[in-house]
Amino acid sequence: MIATDVAELDLSKPGVVASFIKDSWEANAGFDALVHCAGLYPAHRVVDTTEEIFDRVMNVNTRSALISGAEYARLCGSHRRSGSMVFVSSGAARRARPGTTAYAASKAALEAVVRGLALETAALGLRCNAVAPGFVDVGSELSPVPPAYIEQMAAASPQGRVAQAADIVPVIAWLLGDEAAWVNGQSIPVDGGDSIGTRNAPNWLG
């Protein structure tokens, strides 16, 4: 397994992602799968979203995904090797919430990237999919979330809690494996039912 974190790899800088994928491939004689899990989550109202904020979010969340997938596909193609890619999207790609417009735009664009990669690389023996989690409590220092927000998200969830990373990983592993060989170009919701509705929505039942 090859893994890296944003602390050691600045995904916003041009050229960094492609170099990392290529160097990792050469150092390990190739690899069979690519998982791209990156997401800046700045909370800004639309009227407070600057060009700098938008560009950084798009560069990290979307551009780095496209470039990593494209470089992986080039390497697989040149070495006549099949493989699978999974990208971590978000339910925000299809569901608006206040303060998440730039983030949501980046993840919606990511899902378009996934479809394009899947279509163009299938002939090389590659598959490309995404998972779209709801809110996941990862304790990020880079994009910190107030505890009160986490409590509100848990209260709204059909299952009464927010997700942990362990809820998402099995679906990623399934998409990478042979059992999902006929799944390509899809974004799979992994959100505990968040996308079907909320428990605390207004109603007339009393």
Which helix (H) or strand (E) segment holds residue 85: the answer is strand 83-88
List, by residue number, the catalytic residues: 103
- Per the CB < 8 A criterion, the answer to whether 187 and 93 are in contact is yes
- Decide: residue 101, CB within 10 A, 0-12 exposed, 13-18 middle, 19+ buried: middle
Backbone torsions φ then ψ of 10, nearest 5 degrees: -85, 100
3 state DSSP class of 30? coil
- Cβ atoms of 70 and 20 within 8 Å: the answer is no
- Residue bearing tokens 């974004």: 187
| Residue of 102, 85, 92 whose CA lies nearest to 186 | 85
- Asked if residues 5 and 58 have their Cβ atoms less than 8 Å apart, the reply is no
